[in-house]
Amino acid sequence: MPRALLLENLHPVATEILTDAGFEVVNHTGAMDEDELIAALPGFDVLGIRSKTNVTSRVVAAADDLLAIGCFCIGTNQVDLAAAGQAGVATFNAPFSNTRSVVEIAIADMIALTRRQPEFNRSMHEGVWNKSADGAHEIRGRTLGIVGYGNIGTQLSVLAENLGMSVVFYDTAEKLALGNARRVESLDELLEVADIVTLHVDGRSGNAGLFGARQIARMKPGAVFLNLSRGFVVDVDALRTALGSGHLAGAAIDVFPAEPKKRGDAFESELRGLPNVILTPHTGGSTEEAQESIGRFVANKLRDYSATGSTTLSVNVPNIALERTSGVRRVAHLHHNLPGVLASVNATLAEHGTNIEGQLLATSGDLGYVVTDVGADLVPDAVEALRKMDQTIRVRILD
């Protein structure tokens, strides 16, 4: 029976899907650090995580039984993808499943800040009636600057225009503008015109420190700032200074450079206590709808990879779409992408009298993946010969 270790409070639908597929599922409430993972992973075929658990090359090297990692979130920067791929561990994520949830909280945050709701709320709870229109604005007619025009940025762009906003965006990649949104050529150009700046960049290491004191100083006086992307992207000290001085009217921050491992742990930040700041505990994509969708999507990918060898939408191994077959055995061969591998695989099968009924090959970078459906004449010696090929990373036999 295959085994799955699921961390960080994944939606129950993930457990249900994997259990129905024949997995023994073990759930663990919080994240695990490197040493805890190394100790826990022996005997597990599948690991499910969210954003707090880091799967390093050291973890991958120690996890001999591991076949696949499921990142039940958008990002995969918490996994050493190269090390996992070289070890034959396919990695999957959910790049689209919580897009709407993040977009909705961004809209809610920008409206709340532009209308000074955090300050009014605090005053009311302190027993102070502070009815005033000073500093409170509609978002209609204001300019939204989106940094990162991917799945989230594009959907936010469309909804913001429907609310009457003008939209400008900046992305290092060439992106097609939706609706009336306008692409700008530099981050500085965006900062100079945007009344609200929102970050939706990915977790690549090159984005560390993207938004610091210089970028904040270029923002319009009285502008609002949102970060629902990655905590390490923003200089939090510089942000606090700008909020305290009044250069920025407010901020909503959902991600932080250092975050607690599990619910209930203490949270520390330089931004605590500021009246014009909305702080949320990395819940941008945490709606029940999004978490169920993510749980279903990633668990299905893990199930399909285990059962059929399908790697569709894997982020670190070549993609091949496969379905279940009957009456054949399937040889899934992940290998270093070198000339002659396919010929060697076929020659090895032929030498051992194995009839090939169907075959697919895909390559990506330095990895190759060939899946061969064979007859019942596959013998153990043929499998052992495939495993001993110099180019082989992992061989799986699926019935």
> Rounded to whole angstroms, how far apart are CA atoms 284 and 272?
18
Q: Which helix (H) or strand (E) holds 242?
A: helix 236-245
Q: Is 166 helix (H, G, I), strand (E, B) or coil?
A: strand
Mean pLDDT (whole number) for 335-343: 96
Token pair of 396 as six digits: 């799986």
Q: Is 207 helix (H, G, I), strand (E, B) or coil?
A: helix
Q: What is the pLDDT of residues 134-188, one digit of tens each?
A: 999 999 999 999 999 999 999 999 999 999 999 999 999 999 999 999 999 999 9
Residue 268 neighbours by CB distance under 10 Å: 8
CA angle 391, 392, 395 (to 5 degrees): 160
Q: Domain boundaries in the chain?
A: 1-98+288-317, 99-279, 318-390
Catalytic position from the list 230, 303, 330, 335: 230
Pick 318-390's CATH classification: 2.170.150.70, 3.30.70.260, 1.10.10.10, 3.40.50.10490: 3.30.70.260
Mean pLDDT (whole number) for 359-387: 95
Non-local (6+) Cβ contacts of 228 within 8 A are 102, 105, 106, 109, 152, 198, 199, 200, 252, 254, 255, 284
Contact criterion met (CB below 8 Å) for 314 and 320: no
To the query of whether residue 230 is one of the catalytic residues in this protein, the response is yes
Q: Is 309 left (phi over 0), alpha (psi -120 to 50) or beta?
A: left
Q: What is the pLDDT of residues 254-309, one digit of tens each?
A: 999 999 888 889 999 999 999 999 999 999 988 999 999 999 999 999 999 999 99
Residue 137, CB-side half-sphere exposure with 13 Å CA sphere? 17
Catalytic position from the list 34, 36, 104, 259: 259
CA angle 255, 260, 265 (to 5 degrees): 130
Average pLDDT of the residues of the chain = 95
Please report the pLDDT score of residue 315 as a whole number: 97
H helix count then E strand count, the chain: 13, 16
For residue 306, the one-letter residue type is: S
Please report the pLDDT score of residue 378 as a whole number: 92
DSSP 334-359: EEE--TTHHHHHHHHHHHTTPPEEEE
CATH number corresponding to 99-279: 3.40.50.720
> Rounded to whole angstroms, how far apart are CA atoms 141 and 149?
21
Whether 325 has a pLDDT exceeding 80, the answer reads no
Contact criterion met (CB below 8 Å) for 368 and 337: yes
Strand partners for 360: 371
Q: Is 205 helix (H, G, I), strand (E, B) or coil?
A: helix
Please report the pLDDT score of residue 326 as a whole number: 77
Non-local (6+) Cβ contacts of 133 within 8 A are none
To the query of whether residue 282 is one of the catalytic residues in this protein, the response is yes
DSSP state of 234: B
Catalytic position from the list 50, 282, 330, 333: 282
To the query of whether residue 384 is one of the catalytic residues in this protein, the response is no
Quickly name the fold that domain 1-98+288-317 has: Rossmann fold (3.40.50)
Q: What is the pLDDT of residues 62-116, one digit of tens each?
A: 999 999 999 999 889 899 999 999 999 999 999 888 899 999 999 999 999 999 9
Domains 1-98+288-317 and 318-390 share a fold: no
